[in-house]
Structure 1
Amino acid sequence: MEQRQISLQITGLNCAGCAGRAQKALAALPGVTEASVNLATAKGQVQAAPDLEPVVLVTALEQAGYPAALSRLSLDVEGLSCASCVGRAEAALRAVPGVVSAEVNLATERAEISYLTGAIRAADLRAACTKAGYPASLRGAEVDAAEQTKQRREQEITTLARQVMVAAVLTLPVFVIEMGSHMIPGLHHWVMANIGHSNSYLLQFVLATLVLIGPGRQFYSKGVPALLRGAPDMNALVALGTAAAYGFSVISTFFPQLLPPGSANVYFEAACVIVVLILVGRLLEARAKGRTGAAIRKLVSLQPKTAELISGDSVIETPVEDIAPGDLIRLRPGARIAVDGEVTSGSSFVDESMLSGEAVPVEKSRGARLSAGTVNGSAVLEFRATHVGRETALAQIIQMVEQAQGAKLPVQGLVDRITLWFVPAVLLAAALTVVVWLVFGPEPALPLALVAGVSVLIIACPCAMGLATPTSIMVGIGRAAQMGVLFRKGDALQKLQSVRVVALDKTGTLTEGHPALTNLAPATGFTRDAVLRLIGAAEAQSEHPIAKALVQAAGKDLPKADSVEAIPGYGLQAQVEGQKILIGAARLMQREGIDFGPLTKTAALWAAAGETPFYVAIEGQAAAALAVADPIKEGTPEAIRALQGQGLKVAMITGDAEATAQAIAARLGIDAIRAECLPGDKVAALKDLQDGYGTLAFVGDGLNDAPALAAADVGMAIGTGTDVAIEAADVVLVSGDLRAVEDALTVSRATLRNIKQNLLWAFGYNVLLVPVAAGVLYPFGGPLLSPVLAAGAMALSSVFVLSNALRLHHVKSSLNEVAVLPKPGAASLRPAT
């Protein structure tokens, strides 16, 4: 029996025992005849049956605790014209030994392949795809690939436009001579008198031949080989349909005696117009496909091509791809930053509106972080590159969006299974149509059978079905990125629309994540500014977060404090400008015998609202009551109301005390709370909410939120949070504003609704119009559909699907158009190290 050999790179091998267990896991699989694992090289060699899928090996090793190393690459694939092409290309790639998965996207014309590291070469994959009839090329760097894709799309549009023009010019006389004569009797007489019946047929033959061997040749060069391989696609349908119309017309022109009396008609105009209309449809498709990738092109355009590299005493204009971490770069006023870095000298303001949505430039000086794609202000900066190429946050965003755009949602599975058999089913339907018309049709049966059979071949549109889902995903996820919502995993787009409860972490999600002075009420005889100035001076030498909040509220130019002494569990005391200052909790003032009178009731109200009250005494007299709290983010109340307005339940999960959590929940109108939760408790709290309400989305930002983000049906990380939280999430909300949750839900629902509309149209179109083309209405006085009308309907069906998907560009955001990057100084979208 023929065997196939598969080579694997295995991770996690630390000793001979590890290698033995990995080898045993591989050898135990059905179909594996021999397995060996080499500890020194960390490689496995497997002899197995030809039908053994590599994914089975990967799963076995993962279960054994020694995962196989996997690599990914992208191929640009040409010649994809319908969903059947996608199926054939995927099958060819998956047949290459070592390929774990292969997904081909009709909208992006790209293949994403996951394969066993070291098992195959990129050239093998390219060759397999090309041999199947779909020429493939390896994608380079993201920026270069985007530029190449743009150029290829422009070239495709130019070529199609030229082909449409040539085909239309050649087709017009044929159409006028044949169809015009039927509609305008005078034109028929003129043709007969000046050209003659036979000469008109000969002229149509010459022009139709030029159309088919010129602009129409592509249908035959692609369709016939596909037909011979037993894998017919849309090109095969067009080739068969036009060849039937053309062939019958040639016989009618040159050998009419071979046909039954009265059936020698020509259909040259049908063959020509079919080519013209389908080429017009493909031209419109190509233009619409170009618009589906607008989000990626917008992101790529933010990446400059060059940077000014400082080398010794000189400055050299250097391509961005040649910049390395550690290089020193000069940034001119008004220049766009090429790579991520850290300022080494100079001071300027940088426009980071693409990051935060804020129009006010941010001051940058020594030590400040810079992100690629942002724009320098009016001063020169020098900075050291920290992340370049694919490591910059911008490049990682581009990769993230592209991967999500290329994802296949669960709804696509059924579509793929249907479209794989669609074209063969159409061929069978066309053949049955011809047979039925020949047996049961009125005279002349042969031309009627031909018209019906050709119409069935031409009107069927696998393109619409193939494009229905991926184009909507591509536009929807691109639009989400423009709104500051990044889908790290494409299937989250489908899951999100079924969410019934949104659970929110408190600190850093509902709130700003750091304490701030929220209230200050001075006692009689004192002023706010004077008291705050003394408080800031007394707290300036403390590193406590609350102290920092008070100093920040006090502002600059504070006096120097003397004799600062912390009183553990109570507060602190200090001498400022000769006055004794006491700052602390109520128990400190009670110990000192200082009565705050009505300010005590004010402080109690603050405490009931979830704020932490403190008191200030100056020279033994009550001076002020103040409150510190982690302030609610701007937009949070509006976001919660919006989510509840969509029929969702909103829950809060926090490690805070029950009283504080209850106060905040009451203030914001939150439906359910889970307080005093440790990181592990959050996962249990999520399970409880899922049992009570259904599908759940969790929004968090901290390191301790990672388990909950991973456990939720949909994990949504605040983009200003930690790397670990972002890595564990399905969706990243870049702006940090909770209103982006509403945007994510809106995009999800709009995209899934758009997909359903497209699928309804694509399937409904074929189910309804294929029988009409076959002539089921003819016996009841209905029309026998012309192949010309069939071609027009087929072309328009794909254009409809694409145009409908492009409507997602107009989904409205609850925020301004915000960033596609996290703020500098916060975590990036890179893996945690």
Structure 2
Amino acid sequence: MSTEPAVTPSDVRTVELRIDGMTCAACVGRVERKLGKLDGVHATVNLATERALVTYPAGTEVGALVATVQKAGYGATEVRADPSDTGDAATEDDTALRRLRLRMAVALILFIPLADLSLAMSLVPTLRFPYWQWVIVALALPVVVWAAWPFHRTAFSNLRHGSTSMDTLVSLGVISASAWSLGEMAFLDSRVTLTGWDAVLSPSGPLYLEVAAGVTTFVLAGRYFEARARRTAGRVMRSLAALETDEVTVLGADGTERNLPVGRLRVGDRFLVRPGERVAADGVVETGRAAVDTSAMTGEPVPVEVGPEDRVTGGTIASGGRLVVVAEQVGADTRLARMIAAVERAQTEKSATQRLVDRVSSVFVPIVLGLALLTLLGWLLAGAGWAGALAPAIAVVIIACPCALGLATPTALMVATGRGAELGIFVKGYRALETTRAADTVVLDKTGTLTTGRMTVADVAVAAGTDPDRLLARAAAVESGSEHAIAEAVREHARASGVPVPAVDEFVALPGLGARGTVDGVVVTVGRPPEDTGPLAGRIDEWEAAGHTVVAVHTGDPGELAGLIALSDPVKESAPIAVAELVAAGLRPVLLTGDRPAAAHAVARACGITEVVAGALPDGKVDHVRALQAQGRTVAMVGDGVNDAAALAAADLGIAVGSGTDVALEAADVVLVRDDLRVLPATVELARATMGTIRGNLWWAFGYNTAAIPVAMAGLLNPLLAGAAMALSSFLVVTNSLRLRKAAAWADPTLGPVRTPSRDEEYVEA
């Protein structure tokens, strides 16, 4: 029996590393294998984002992880949770992009006259002048040496570490073509030496310098446009990160102002937000009034008026007023930071399909090298000679580069999560997209989900001998400890009525039942009405028939019914449209609420939902979700409160409304930040479009390599054309993924009024 202590979650750490130098899925597999050899270390590497999410035991140093990656031949740096890191990473990306563009430009400038000269010398022999071959060499060498140096450097590094990658294939092809051509010129009769454009017309030509230069140029061009496209795909995450402010004005106890880096802001600090400034952290307004623009984060075009005791979110912009805010969540704990981190984790996560692709790609390059060797030997045995055998072997090496395979899934996921963030949809993982596409049943909470969640007190009824103001004061006192929408409505009604609210002691939250506390020495419970309400039963029937929510106020222990409070919560304007779209998309909506049946059915009728489960406590919600799963259904649960958290976690897919509680947001797989339920069917459409795009990408990548390699082995594909096709394949995969930027365009808040998509509207794959 092992005597080693079990590893607990507290012993595990997570770090994100930026990996430089990866070019294909084979590189991804190598980094993951090297890190995985360390005890207790597990790594998930994403080629599109150039990030690695690494979990490791508490006793392991991050420096050891970085050193392991560097020993594998790649650069590695830790990505810290600091706004400045985003800028540094963007600057590094811009620098790398400029260097790549310079190499591509130099290669293109030299390749054009090289190709023209080669063609002229081939077609018109009388134009040949002394040492014309060396002019070709002079034009080609800067391309095949300096411009192609990144390929050679990575290939040599891989060779030193006993591995291969896409760059190995490119470098081998360029070096083989160049070495053969220089050898021909140095040792064979120059009078019979043909140029490489004869190789374009007939792959048996003995010179391949312009082929080597052309392959280098095409691959550099493909990589440049691929890098640009990948940077475009990540623009949403950079724009979200830019919402974080660098400095904050903190107010001292005496009212003095100090400008501090936002990283030094602490919970409980009072900070100032002037008109036009961004809110530095999540908090509660202490003094002041302003209109807060949340459009950059949520897509909501109309500013929200806030005043004392209202909550504000970091990253939003105050206009038309000055606010003093008490910080409640700072740094990485703010909602914006958590959303960004969730999407970044989603972009790093892999599906089962991508893991299979990585495993295939890790052995793909050695297989290709073996096929190239067999091609060379086969043509030599067939009597084609070294010149005739080299061309198809080089074509095999170049055409089979697996970069398109490595980019097929992560680029689509990267664009999809970015597009979701634009629409106010934050996806926490790749599996969430897979499950969203597969979901056939949507279970919706009522309060705060289908309704506005901004409840108001419509009426109050009291038992005989009870003072209405005292009842309201005691109920408001108990509800002062709760964050539920009903509690807020009761507190606001008491404040608007001018009723003094006493302090509450021994407050206890009763999930699904209400809350209890001691007010003026009396135990007061606010929650669901009992089955027998005596003389007040008629009022409950009347209120519930009108769709109102009813809460009971009990006093004493055991409690006696002191009165009832009726609250109205209007249905969101977007709810009926969203439900209709879900039905049109083939999903079955179910209303699941802890409210009484009459109120639940009133909301269901307004939304167009026919299946209603009312009076469900938190455990009952979980049981109903599991019952649907037992019927073979894939269930998506949509909720916003603490009482929804267990059901969100139990469902195949948990979707939290962004205005909900932190517990619900943490339990969910997808968070809808916009206060508009029309993003719910948009989430389904985005998921389906993403999975369709991934399938199209993989079909192209696998089909391209499968079809092209036999053609190249048969000598029917020139190396120059192979290089162009290989570069084009990666570019097409990335470009096809970028089409997801227009997915669910009907839900884009920047396009004006939301249009309901037709039932027959489908996302067309490339």
Map 1:180-579 onto structure 2 (within 5 A): 180-182=120-122, 185-186=123-124, 188-190=125-127, 192=128, 195-196=129-130, 199-256=131-188, 265-310=206-251, 315-354=257-296, 357-440=299-382, 444-513=384-453, 515-516=455-456, 543=475
What residue number does 1:12 align with?
A: none
The SS at the match of 1:670 is coil
Deviates more, 1:640-649 or 1:318-327: 318-327
CA distance in 2, matches of 1:481, 1:254: 60
8 Å CA contact 1:501–1:693 kept in 2: the answer is no
Which of 658, 664, 675 pairs up with 1:719? 658
Residue 637 (str. 1) matches residue 576 (str. 2): yes
Aligned equivalent of 2:685:
746
Task: Report if the CA contact (8 A) 2:275-2:321 is conserved.
Answer: yes
- AA partner of residue 440 (structure 2): R
SS of 1:637's equivalent? helix
Q: 1:323 to 1:676 in 2, by over 3 A?
A: closer
Instruction: Please tell me whether the aligned partners of residues 298 and 423 of structure 2 are also in contact (alpha carbons under 8 angstroms).
Output: no
Q: 1:303 and 1:549 mapped to 2: Cα distance?
A: 32
Give the 3-state SS of the residue equivalent to 2:15 in structure 1. Answer: strand
- Of 164, 169, 176, the residue aligned with 2:116 is 176
Q: What is the CA distance between 1:467 and its match in structure 2?
A: 0.6
> Which of 15, 21, 29 is residue 73 of structure 1 equivalent to?
15
- Matched to 2:587, the amino acid is L
Cα contact 1:484–1:817 (8 A) shared by 2:
no
Distance 1:266 1:654, change over 3 A: same
Alpha-carbon distance in 1 for matches of 2:536, 2:68:
81
Equivalent position SS for 2:631: helix
Deviations 1:94-131 (A, max 9, x none): 122341x10111011111100011x2111111111011
Match of 1:474, SS? helix
**In structure 1, which of residues 56, 67, 86 is the aligned counterpart of residue 28 of structure 2?**
86
Q: CA 1:697–1:470 in 2, change beyond 3 Å: closer, same or farther?
A: same
TM-score normalised by length of structure 1: 0.75
Report the RMSD for the aligned CA atoms in angstroms.
Answer: 3.5
Aligned to 1:57: none
Equivalent AA in structure 1 for residue 249 of structure 2: E
Give the corresponding residue for 2:713: 774
Q: 111, 116, 138: which is aligned to 2:78?
A: 138
SS in 1 for 2:749: coil
Shift of 1:302: 1.0
> Which of these two proteins has the greater Rg computed from alpha carbons?
1
How far 1:67 moved relative to its partner? 4.4
Amino acid at match of 1:391: D
**Post-superposition CA distance 1:728-766 (Å, at most 9, x none):** 111112234332221211111111111111111111111
Equivalent pair of 1:540/1:547 in contact (CA under 8 Å): no
Secondary structure of the 1:97 match is: coil
Instruction: Tell me the distance in 2 between the aligned counterparts of 1:662 and 1:769.
Output: 61
Pick closer, same or farther for the CA change 1:165–1:428 going to 2, 3 Å: same
**In the aligned structure 2, how far is the partner of 1:557 from the partner of 1:589?**
23
Deviation at 1:679, TM superposition (A): 1.8
Deviation per CA, 1:180-210: give whole Å up to 9, x if none: 444xx45x422x1xx23xx122222233222
Q: Determine if the alignment matches structure 1 residue 694 to structure 2 residue 694.
A: no
Where does structure 1 lack aligned partners over 5 or more consecutive residues? 1-27, 36-43, 45-60, 521-535, 561-584, 592-599, 615-625, 779-783, 819-833
> In structure 2, how many angstroms separate the alpha carbons of the residues matched to 1:495 and 1:142?
32
C-alpha offsets along residues 311-361 of structure 1, whole Å, 9 cap, x if unaligned? 567534332223333444333222122223333443333323345544443
**In structure 2, do the counterparts of structure 1 residues 332 and 663 end up closer, same or farther at CA, with 3 Å as the change threshold?**
closer
**Following superposition of structure 1 onto structure 2, how do residues 575-654 of structure 1 map, counting pairs within 5 Å?**
608=545, 610-611=547-548, 629-654=568-593
Rounded to whole Å, the distance in 1 between the matches of 2:363 and 2:487 is 70
Cα 1:515/1:171, change in 2 over 3 Å? closer
- The 3-state SS of whatever aligns with 2:659 is coil
Q: Distance in 2 between matches of 1:589 and 1:410?
A: 58
Distance 1:388 1:551 in 2: 27
2:343 touches 2:429 (CA, 8 Å); kept in 1?
no
2:426/2:672 contact within 8 Å kept: yes
C-alpha contact 2:597 2:614 (8 A) present in aligned 1 = yes
C-alpha distance in 2 between matches for 1:472 and 1:314: 50
CA pair 259-397 structure 1, distance change in 2 beyond 3 A:
farther
Structure 2 CA distance for partners of 1:502 and 1:589, relative to 1, 3 Å? closer
Letter in 2 for 1:708: A
Structure 1 Cα separation of the partners of residues 492 and 285 of structure 2: 24
- Residue 694 of structure 2 is aligned to residue 729 of structure 1: no
Cα distance per residue 1:73-112 (max 9 Å; x no partner): 111111101110111111111122341x101110111111
Which amino acid is the alignment partner of residue 352 of structure 2?
Answer: P
CA distance in 2, matches of 1:427, 1:701: 55
The percentage of counterpart residues that share the same residue type is 37
Q: Is the 1:356–1:735 contact (alpha carbons within 8 Å) kept by the matching residues of 2? A: yes
Task: Please state how far the C-alpha of 1:473 moved relative to its aligned partner.
Answer: 0.7
Distance 2:401 2:103 in 1: 21
User: Does the 8 Å contact 2:449/2:639 carry over to 1?
Assistant: yes
Partner of 1:11: none
Which one-letter code corresponds to 1:434 in the other structure?
L
Aligned-partner SS, 2:271? strand
Other-structure match for 1:799: 731
Structure 1 Cα separation of the partners of residues 475 and 377 of structure 2: 90
Q: What SS does the aligned partner of 1:230 have?
A: coil
Task: State whether structure 2 residue 72 is matched by structure 1 residue 122.
Answer: no
CA distance in 2, matches of 1:492, 1:694: 16
Distance in 1 separating the partners of 2:325 and 2:387: 77
Code of the residue aligned with 2:172 in structure 1: it is L
For 1:547 and 1:286, the matched residues in 2 are separated by 51
CA contact (8 A) 2:144 2:178 kept: no
C-alpha contact 2:596 2:614 (8 A) present in aligned 1 = yes
Instruction: Tell me if structure 2 keeps the 8 A contact 1:742–1:814.
Output: no
CA–CA distance in structure 2, aligned partners of residues 355 and 207 of structure 1:
52
Q: 1:537 to 1:113 in 2, by over 3 A?
A: closer
Q: State the secondary structure of the residue aligned to 1:408.
A: coil
CA contact (8 A) 2:314 2:334 kept: yes
- 1:763 aligned residue (696, 702, 725): 702
CA contact (8 A) 1:516 1:630 kept: yes
Specify whether residues 277 and 354 from structure 1 end up closer, same or farther in structure 2 by C-alpha distance, changes over 3 A only. Answer: closer
- Preserved contact between residue 516 and residue 631 of structure 1 (Cα < 8 Å): no
Offset from partner CA, 1:784-826 (integer Å, 9 cap, x none): 21111111111111111111111111112554539xxxxxxxx
Distance 1:678 1:589 in 2: 24
For residues 453-508 of structure 1, what are the alpha-carbon distances to aligned partners after superposition, in whole Å with 9 as ceiling and x for unaligned?
Answer: 10111111311100111111111011111211111233111111011111112233
Indicate which of 45, 67, 70 corresponds to 1:104. Answer: 45
Q: Post-superposition shift, 1:300?
A: 1.1
| Contact in 2 for aligned 1:341/1:369 (Cα 8 Å) | yes
CA contact (8 A) 2:457 2:567 kept: yes
CA change 1:290–1:774 in 2 (3 A) is: same
Give the alignment's TM-score, normalised by structure 2.
0.81
Helix, strand or coil: the match of 2:85?
helix
In structure 2, the CA distance between the partners of 1:227 and 1:756, relative to structure 1 (3 Å rule), is same
Stretch of structure 1 that moved more, 633-642 or 137-146: 137-146
2-side partners of 1:605 and 1:813: how far apart?
Answer: 43
